């Protein structure tokens, strides 16, 4: 790793002050499980002049319920999300998504803030600088996206606007189902951004002098059934090829509330609103399940080499619906 100046801060204000002072030439470090990989391979368009350790900020490490709102500090670790009994009983999708990330060692240090702000996993983007120089793609300020004509088997099948890399964060997929808001702190105070709007075509809804302070989740409907499925080639370590999160509320046999989020198919997590609408008011049967899967994937435009992800996504949707229909209990 090339050298950088190193700072540690104890408050959000201090972090923001330093970010401002470096004017975009500093990087925050939370767990470091993503940042250190980027620095070692020297893939960022500009190597940061400084790294700012935000771990000493104390008040970002709690999960708390406040007036029905669940607030999760940016420094809450994935292991804490996965193991918290509150998460497991009330927000099992988020707990399961956290549990399915990486390995125990990663979850012991990786944070929710870092997970949401992690960089894309596109292999052109991550190509190590020391092997023949960096690949200057669109996301790094270049002119083209080599993935479009190259090997894009893991890239987006919808929603790409220039950059075809998918949002790598499983927590973002899970949070979409809960309509979570990301609380962003900056020099002028705080603002909230809906998780689905947090990802931009070439980056994040964060200015150079802003950071994620916490995430909050509005109350969930009573007695809903929830499930998260992540399709990977190997169970641990691998990123999702496709993931689906689904929350259903029933009135008798009929679906009264439906939320479906799809991950790893687009540069941001996707809510399948059309499919949700179709589900509401119907019982879950084979016809509906097929129809819903078709509607959810209707707007996809796969590249030449990743159409298979459409089929995986449809299958996962059918699986998740069947599972929620037949399992009375939410299984973690």
Ligand X SMILES: Cc1cc2nc3c(=O)[nH]c(=O)nc-3n(C[C@H](O)[C@H](O)[C@H](O)COP(=O)(O)OP(=O)(O)OC[C@H]3O[C@@H](n4cnc5c(N)ncnc54)[C@H](O)[C@@H]3O)c2cc1C
Give one word for 267, left, alpha or beta, with left for phi > 0 and alpha for psi -120 to 50.
alpha
Q: In this structure, what token pair is assigned to residue 243?
A: 């993931």
How far, in Å, are 51, 54, 76, 198, 223 from residue 25 at the CA level?
Answer: 9, 16, 25, 22, 47
According to the binding rule CB under 6 A, does residue 167 interact with ligand SF4?
Answer: no
**113 counts as binding another protein under rule CB under 8 A:** no
Q: Is 139 in the site for ligand X (CB under 6 A)?
A: no
- Among another protein, ligand SF4, ligand X, none, the one that 147 touches (CB under a kind-dependent 5 to 8 A) is ligand SF4
Number of residues that bind another protein (CB under 8 A): 41
Q: Is 74 in the site for ligand X (CB under 6 A)?
A: yes
Interface with ligand X by CB under 6 A: which range of 143-151, 169-177, 186-194, 273-281?
Answer: 169-177
Q: What would the two tokens of residue 23 be? A: 């004017």
Does residue 145 interact with ligand SF4 by CB under 6 A?
A: yes
Written as six digits, the tokens of 40 are: 């070692």
| Using rule CB under 6 A, residue 169 touches ligand X | yes
Selection from ligand SF4, ligand X, another protein, none that 170 binds (CB < 5 to 8 A by kind) is: ligand X
Kindly give the pairing relationship between strand 181-186 and strand 189-194.
antiparallel
Using rule CB under 6 A, residue 266 touches ligand X? no
Q: Provide the β-strand partners of residue 29.
A: 53
164 binds ligand SF4 (CB under 6 A): yes
Distance, in Å, from the CA atom of 91 to the CA atom of 70, rounded to the nearest integer, reads 10
Burial annotation 200-221 (CB, 10 A radius, 16+ → b, else e): eebebbbeebbbbbbbbbeebe
139 binds ligand SF4 (CB under 6 A): yes
- 105 part of the interface to another protein, by CB under 8 A: yes
What minimum distance in Å lies between the beta carbon of 203 and ligand X?
11
Q: Which of 235, 252, 286, 326 binds another protein (CB under 8 A)?
A: 235
Q: Which is nearer to ligand SF4, 118 or 181 (CB)?
A: 118
Contact between 206 and ligand SF4 by CB under 6 A: the answer reads: no
CA distances from 223 to 118, 201, 249, 257, 262 (A): 33, 36, 7, 11, 22
Angle between helices 286-296 and 308-326 (to 10 degrees): 140
Quick one: which segment of 35-43, 49-57, 139-147, 180-188 binds ligand SF4 (CB under 6 A)?
Answer: 139-147
Question: Which of 20, 42, 44, 55 is the binder for another protein (CB under 8 A)?
Answer: 55
Residue 78: HSE in the Cβ half-sphere, 13 Å Cα cutoff: 28
Does position 241 interact with ligand SF4 (CB under 6 A)? The reply is no
If contact means CB under 5 to 8 A according to the sort of partner, which of ligand SF4, another protein, ligand X, none does residue 49 touch? another protein
Nearest approach in angstroms of CB 175 to ligand SF4 is 22
């Amino acid at each position: 790793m090339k050298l950088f100046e190193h700072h540690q801060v104890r408050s959000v204000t201090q972090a923001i002050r330093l970010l401002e002072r470096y004017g975009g030439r500093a990087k925050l470090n939370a767990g470091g499980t993503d940042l250190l990989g980027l620095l070692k391979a020297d893939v960022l368009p500009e190597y940061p002049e400084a790294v700012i350790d935000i771990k000493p900020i104390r008040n970002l490490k709690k999960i708390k319920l406040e007036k029905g709102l669940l607030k999760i500090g940016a420094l809450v670790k994935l292991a804490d999300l996965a193991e918290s009994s509150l998460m497991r009983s009330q927000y099992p999708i988020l707990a399961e998504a956290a549990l399915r990330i990486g390995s125990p060692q990663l979850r012991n240090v990786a944070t929710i803030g870092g997970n949401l702000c992690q960089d894309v996993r596109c292999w052109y983007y991550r190509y190590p600088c020391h092997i023949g120089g960096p690949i200057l793609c669109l996301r790094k300020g270049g002119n083209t996206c080599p993935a479009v004509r190259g090997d894009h088997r893991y890239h987006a099948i919808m929603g790409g606007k220039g950059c075809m890399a998918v949002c790598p964060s499983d927590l973002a997929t899970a949070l979409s189902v809960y309509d979570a808001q990301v609380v962003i702190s900056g020099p002028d105070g705080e603002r909230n951004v809906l998780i689905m709007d947090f990802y931009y075509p070439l980056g994040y809804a964060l200015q150079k002098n802003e950071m994620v302070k916490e995430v909050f989740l509005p109350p969930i409907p009573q007695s809903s059934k929830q499930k998260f499925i992540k399709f990977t080639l190997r169970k641990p370590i691998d990123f999702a090829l496709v993931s689906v999160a689904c929350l259903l509320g029933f009135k008798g046999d009929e679906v009264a509330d439906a939320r479906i989020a799809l991950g790893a198919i687009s540069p941001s997590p996707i809510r399948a609103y059309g499919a949700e609408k179709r589900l509401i008011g119907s019982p879950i049967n084979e016809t509906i399940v097929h129809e819903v899967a078709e509607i959810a994937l209707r707007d996809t435009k796969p590249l030449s080499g990743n159409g298979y992800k459409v089929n995986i996504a449809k299958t996962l949707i059918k699986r998740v619906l069947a599972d929620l229909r037949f399992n009375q209990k939410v299984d973690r």
